[in-house]
Structure 1
Amino acid sequence: MATLVEDYIHGRIDIEGDFRDFIKNRTKHVNYKLVADHFKFFLTRFIPEVTIHSKKQDERIVQEHYDRGNDFFNWFLGPRMIYTSAFFTDVNQDLESAQDQKMSLVCDKLHLEKGESLLDIGCGWGTLALYAARERGADATGVTIAEQGAAYATQQIADAGYSDSARILRMDYRDIPRKKYNKISCLEMAEHVGVKYFRKFMKQINSMLEDDGHFYLQIAGLKAGVHPESLVWGLFMNKYIFSGADASMPLSFVVKNLEKAGFEIHSVENIGIHYSITIDRWYDNWMRNQSKVEAKYGQFWFRLWQVFLGWSVYIASQGNSTCFQILCNKNHETFDRHRWVGELGLGERITRENGMVNAVESSAVETGEVSM
């Protein structure tokens, strides 16, 4: 698989027909053996990045990925500009409403109330920070190291008229001012911190959270154990897409480090299949914008993202990669845990309730009780 991917993205070969069909049936055509290039990359790039994770290195990696151009990301993320998993209640739901639903779910899980302070670490293009200010009346602060993302987010907030209640700080997570927040969220950014600094980062978050506050962590994860395709896919992702994002780990790693950092875990929901559907929507957007991408960025970047998105859809759908929504509070004896009564599995409950509504509506249509 590795050799074929390299040849395809560099234009040495073409793949005829529907690329999605090729990826879906990839096991008929490829194997997942490690090749010489894997060992070279592992020794010369992966190991240094994992062991260093300095501010300078992390800023360089982020700039190489996220500061390529906002149009580049818009061509697959769509108008919401959210680079994290959406939450679907129906497999046919459109991406935008699923992303809106995810933001609502995040705020619900956090119990975000009007006037409360929210810190969103790794805020991307600021969509959640703006949503929290506009829809929940929160005072929201987003943090990102990406220059173009920060500028876009600040402008988006200003255009919506919420500059007084939402703001974007462009800085490394290690430089966030040490003040207290009622609620803290971190969506698919902690992977970039790396294994080396993961627990220290969780302790930093714990120190910035009010004793009565809530912390929401959404993090991409991997199936436990060693799996040939996952290994080859992971090396591809680290080489070309998310360099240095070595803290995508099995759930046990995340739970252990959260607890060691002083958190009590209230709930964990696996939304891996939601991530697969999200990436599938991104893939469709990307393919629709092929001519624009190739005209500005060239065939290499179009094909690279085509492989990244197309392959990741199936990696997530088969459970080799996944995504977790984790809700935490400080593990203090004085924390009032009565608030959690009836709050388990919010995502599952929303999905179940939506399914029941759809079933009732379908039954009503079939019996002639409503007209379409």
Structure 2
Amino acid sequence: MTEDHSEPVAGDRPEPTAAQDVRQMSPRKPFASPSIKAPTLAYEGGGARQFSSVMLYVLIAAVPYAIKRALGLTLGTYFVLAALLALPIGGLSLLAHSWLVEAPTDQTAALPNQPLESYMTILDKELKAQYHGSRKIPMDEFFERYFDGDIDLTGDALTMFEKRHDWAIFPITLRVARFFLLQWIPELLVHSKKQDETQVRDHYDRGDDFYAAFLGERMVYTSGLIGDVDTHESLDQLQDNKLRDVCERLQMRPGARHLDLGCGWGTLVAYAARNYGTESVGVTLGRNQTEFGNQRAAAWGVADRARVLCMDYRDTPRRPRYDCISCLEMAEHVGVRKFPDFLNQVSDMLEDDGLFYLQIAGLRGAWQYEDFSWGLFMAKYIFPGADASCPLNWVVAQLESAGFEVRSSETIGVHYSATLSRWYDNWLASRERIVAKYGKRWFRIWEIFLAWSIIIARQGSSTCYQIVAHKNRNAFDRGALIRKPLGYASPSGSVSDGLVAKLLL
């Protein structure tokens, strides 16, 4: 699947159609990198910008007061009622608003206003009677019925999802609310070793061939990094860029003790040992991943310095301490409730002059309702138990509370989008093999996950943070981590012209 990223020449640009309000169209710089699948319809959905926090506070105060007045209750009872009803009122307000909210008017693109049938064929008669023509379908209704075989797509899933606002709405339905209350919250509150083990093994021990179908030879299930924005780098190149970046940021050296928490198929462990001479240990709950990782270390000739252990991260050997610890997109599975304990454990296992590399998926604070739909879809089908995907300020606050100093933080969502696009292309190429062995339903689940996530990561709904931290101790050599400023070798011209000297005279 190829994407044409060339810009139209003068005279080839189409005239605005009647459906477009050119007064709302603002010029924007196109995605120029051939590594990124550019958006064809960057449309903003309703969300936090339209939600009134003031109105919510008024309701939280007024509803209990109305009950107090009607029943003749005491003032003390009113405060108890307000505390008890705050969450239900907030939840119901959010649910109602998700159905009523309208999209912002300051759009950079106009919807094509095509009928639903342009995007999908609904096979179920009752469902077709509900959603047809200009009647948009709730997103959770779409993907559930698509997985069940009640809907077929008329074309490519990614092309269709680029125009999803033309055929879908993103309300909080009863199905979504039920999943959130009866599964997501209980999982968030528990996160026992048994729960995490069951979720991980059910997911990652499905079959290495299932994951190889989209991850490719490297078998790395985390975001790669774009190295050259002017070329279309392969998936292997993106992942090699990331592997080198992790090792360099952690200042790996021969003999350094390295721990990779949630190591997946162990590629980073073997890579660090082979290319940087480290003594690397990876930890995962996946049985298949453990076997694969140790076989790869042996194949690469570093089995004596790289090994993968099959265990819960909480059981990781803590002594002797490690010179560097990496954790790439596993910490989400630790859970919000367990996150402080996790970071305290990392601190205890890390040498006082060691470095911690955390790559973690997160959500934007200025949410749109689509973000909720996508997040709950992911929690149900793709990454169950990964509830510690939070905005960056939450992650940084947790690190600082655990005694870390954040040395650097980068948002790499657009890199993740590029990585996902390679996974998506690989997945489509593996359609016949996956359907034959795992069935059409599993193929469709990952088809929607990858197509939708390319967009989600690119537009910032869910992104990925790359954080380097160390213990915030007085004796830490912070000078060893200094990097040259961007453009350091370029002439600045800010002092040599003598303007500052003239101003001082």
| TM-score between the two structures when normalised by the length of structure 1 | 0.91
Distance (whole Å) between structure 1 residues aligned to residue 415 and residue 483 of structure 2: 23
Contact 1:264 1:330 in 2 (8 A): yes
Tell me by how many angstroms 1:90 deviates.
3.0
Aligned to 1:149: 289
Distance (whole Å) between structure 2 residues aligned to residue 86 and residue 195 of structure 1: 25
Alignment root-mean-square deviation, CA: 1.5
Contact 2:257 2:322 in 1 (8 A): yes
Aligned to 2:161: 23
Question: Which of 162, 174, 180 matches 1:36?
Answer: 174
Whose helix proportion is higher, 1 or 2?
Answer: 1
The CA deviation string for residues 178-227 of structure 1, in whole angstroms up to 9 with x for no partner, is 11000100000000000000111011001100011111000111101432
Give, as a single letter, the amino acid of the residue that structure 1 aligns with 2:471: K
Is residue 305 of structure 1 aligned with residue 446 of structure 2?
A: yes
Distance (whole Å) between structure 2 residues aligned to residue 226 and residue 107 of structure 1: 33
The CA deviation string for residues 71-106 of structure 1, in whole angstroms up to 9 with x for no partner, is 000001000000000001235111101101110010
Distance (whole Å) between structure 2 residues aligned to residue 225 and residue 93 of structure 1: 32
Tell me by how many angstroms 1:245 deviates.
0.3
Question: Could you say if the C-alpha distance between residues 316 and 241 of structure 1 is closer, same or farther in structure 2, counting changes exceeding 3 Å?
Answer: same
**Farther-moved stretch of structure 1 (211-220 vs 39-48):** 39-48
Question: Which of 129, 137, 141 matches 1:3?
Answer: 141
Unaligned ranges ≥5, structure 2: 1-138, 491-505
**For 2:324, what is the secondary structure of its paired residue?**
strand
Aligned to 1:289: 430
Give, as a single letter, the amino acid of the residue that structure 2 aligns with 1:199: P
Is residue 251 of structure 1 aligned with residue 389 of structure 2?
A: no
Distance (whole Å) between structure 2 residues aligned to residue 25 and residue 248 of structure 1: 26
Distance (whole Å) between structure 1 residues aligned to residue 463 and residue 180 of structure 2: 23
The CA deviation string for residues 20-60 of structure 1, in whole angstroms up to 9 with x for no partner, is 11011111001001111111111211111000000000000
Aligned to 1:230: 371
Give, as a single letter, the amino acid of the residue that structure 1 aligns with 2:308: I
Distance (whole Å) between structure 1 residues aligned to residue 379 and residue 373 of structure 2: 10
Contact 2:273 2:305 in 1 (8 A): yes
Once the two structures are superposed, the pairs formed by residues 356-367 of structure 1 within 5 Å of their partners are none
Larger RCO of the pair (alpha carbons < 8 Å, separation 6+):
1
Question: Which of 251, 255, 261 matches 1:111?
Answer: 251
The CA deviation string for residues 230-287 of structure 1, in whole angstroms up to 9 with x for no partner, is 0011111101111110000000110000011110110001111000110111000000
Aligned to 2:314: 174
**For 1:14, what is the secondary structure of its paired residue?**
strand
Distance (whole Å) between structure 1 residues aligned to residue 151 and residue 326 of structure 2: 43
**For 2:264, what is the secondary structure of its paired residue?**
coil
Aligned to 1:55: 193
Distance (whole Å) between structure 2 residues aligned to residue 210 and residue 108 of structure 1: 18
Is residue 193 of structure 1 aligned with residue 193 of structure 2?
A: no
Give, as a single letter, the amino acid of the residue that structure 2 aligns with 1:126: G
Distance (whole Å) between structure 2 residues aligned to residue 339 and residue 104 of structure 1: 19
Aligned to 2:225: 87
Tell me by how many angstroms 1:11 deviates.
0.8
Contact 2:367 2:461 in 1 (8 A): no
Aligned to 1:136: 276
Distance (whole Å) between structure 2 residues aligned to residue 289 and residue 207 of structure 1: 44
Aligned length: 348
| TM-score between the two structures when normalised by the length of structure 2 | 0.68
**For 1:264, what is the secondary structure of its paired residue?**
strand
**For 1:62, what is the secondary structure of its paired residue?**
helix
Question: Could you say if the C-alpha distance between residues 186 and 276 of structure 1 is closer, same or farther in structure 2, counting changes exceeding 3 Å?
Answer: same
Give, as a single letter, the amino acid of the residue that structure 1 aligns with 2:194: K
Give, as a single letter, the amino acid of the residue that structure 1 aligns with 2:333: H
Tell me by how many angstroms 1:343 deviates.
5.8
For the pair shown, the structure with the greater C-alpha radius of gyration is: 2
Contact 1:267 1:344 in 2 (8 A): no
